[in-house]
Structure 1
Amino acid sequence: MHSRSYLRIKALIDCLMAVILLLIVMIPFSILTLFLACYYRGNPFYVCERAGLLGKPFKQYKFKSMFDSTAGELDSDKNRVSPVGKFLREWSIDEIPQLINIIKGDISFIGPRPLTCDYIAFYNKNEKRRLEVKPGLTGLAQVNGRNTISWAEKFKFDVAYVDQFSLQLDMKILIRTIRVVLSREGVDQNESTTAERFKG
């Protein structure tokens, strides 16, 4: 299927599937939201700005997995991850609110993972090509090592996805994602719970 034709169809499939999935998980989604609001004594969601298609910023939604830092606190992200948050990350449950991002058209189910906007300044010409398609909930890099591979390897997979963009590739990634999530492959990076920041 031609990539442009698939691009239009993919957007419709993404929205439809996200609506269906959100309706299916609405009750457990609501219960978890209330639980996390009590657990963190505040906002149960983590909202941050990410770079979308062509670098356009958008607000990404995730379930909160870390305690808030106090004034002057220098604890690393690893130390701030809560026991509940670690469980949510291991099973990728913290990603569920991004169904809202998919419905809004910010991201797709499949594509390069959305990164912070400040990373764009560090991309070389080839790495910047990852912005040519919508970011995704999962992608080629996530099924080929996830957090255990280097930034260079991640970007290599991201650009490869752009070059090979097709329905067949998306289906392969989707199937492999299910296996990766169930096996919890590549969740931690060097026994840490957060990936190192990209510095160019």
Structure 2
Amino acid sequence: MKSARPHDTVQRTIDIIVAAVMLIVTAPVMLAVVILVAWRLGRPVFFRQQRPGLNGRVFTMVKFRTMLDVDPERGLITDADRLTRLGRIMRSTSVDELPTFINVLKGDMSLVGPRPLLVRYLDRYTPTQARRHLVRPGLTGLAQVRGRNALSWEDKFDLDVWYVDHRSLSLNARIFAETVLTVVRRDGIAAEGNVTMPEFLGTATSRPTISNA
């Protein structure tokens, strides 16, 4: 699986510069969040999880922790039960994503690309949907500025594949700028009836892909 383009090398340079600058600029904010999370949620402060990246290669993504541990005796079972008020604020402002700039700096991720999902989803994609792994996953992506978690899984994947086929530096710049507006407006944080998104169980029937994003 390979879908390299000349501008991908330029984008990688941009990724390194922006990630390094953001880690420096947001260091005071991240220090404050570390203290708050340790105080309100306890340790560990960071949430680490295996996610598939470029060509399906698995890496460890790091974010700030937003949920309490599973504890049936306290009624902490579902994501909705475990997500704290602090966690909701962090997610709605995307502050929980700040440590992920480390993944961008390392080359696991890019600033823009399809969002990295769960490893167990890999064998649930249709061949077309699996093409989302032809590029590095991103901190933000086309699906995030076209509805985020308010979209169905199928619509998200259609947008991901459209991005893979039409990506460019100008498109990346537009998506990154629109992401800022999406975060400010706090659009599409959760799917209806869920605190984030329900589990992707696979697509039952084939669907036409989105031809114009």
TM-score, normalising length from structure 1? 0.95
Is residue 28 of structure 1 aligned with residue 29 of structure 2? Answer: yes
Among 63, 69, 88, the residue aligned to 1:86 = 88
Distance in 1, matches of 2:16 and 2:193, equals 35
What is the deviation of 1:78?
1.1
1:145-195 Cα offsets, whole Å, 9 max, x none, are: 100110100000000000001011111111111111100010121142121
Q: Equivalents in 1 of 2:105, 2:194: separation in Å?
A: 32
Cα distance per residue 1:106-127 (max 9 Å; x no partner): 0001000001111010011100
Deviation of the 1:31 alpha carbon: 2.0
Q: In the alignment, which residue of structure 2 is the partner of 1:163?
A: 165
| Partners of 2:26 and 2:15 in 1: CA distance | 16
- Alignment correspondent of 1:96: 98
The CA distance in 2 between the partners of 1:109 and 1:182, in whole Å, is 18
Percent identity over the alignment?
Answer: 37
Question: How many equivalent residue pairs?
Answer: 198
Q: 1:164 to 1:129 in 2, by over 3 A?
A: same
Counterparts in 2 of 1:105-144, with a 5 A limit?
105-144=107-146
The corresponding residue for 2:66 is 65
Distance 1:15 1:64 in 2: 24
Question: Structure 1 residue 4: deviation in Å?
Answer: 2.1
Cα 1:169–1:17 shift into 2, 3 Å:
same
Specify the code of the residue in structure 1 equivalent to 2:38.
Answer: A
Give the SS at the match of 1:192. coil
CA deviations on 1:86-114 (whole Å, 9 max, x unpaired) are: 00011111111101000111000100000
Q: Paired residue for 2:198?
A: 196
The DSSP-based 3-state class of the residue aligned with 1:190 is coil
Structure 1: 5+ residue runs without aligned partners? Answer: none
Q: Deviations over 1:55-102 (max 9, x none)?
A: 000001111111001267672111110010000011111111101000
The equivalences for 1:6-21 within 5 A come to 6-21=7-22
Say what the alpha-carbon RMSD is for the aligned residues: 1.3
Equivalent residue number for residue 53 of structure 2 = 52
Cα deviation, residue 47, structure 1: 0.6
Unaligned 5+ segments in structure 2 are 203-213
4+ residue stretches of structure 1 with deviation over 3 A? Answer: 71-74
Conservation of the 8 A alpha-carbon contact between 2:69 and 2:76 = no
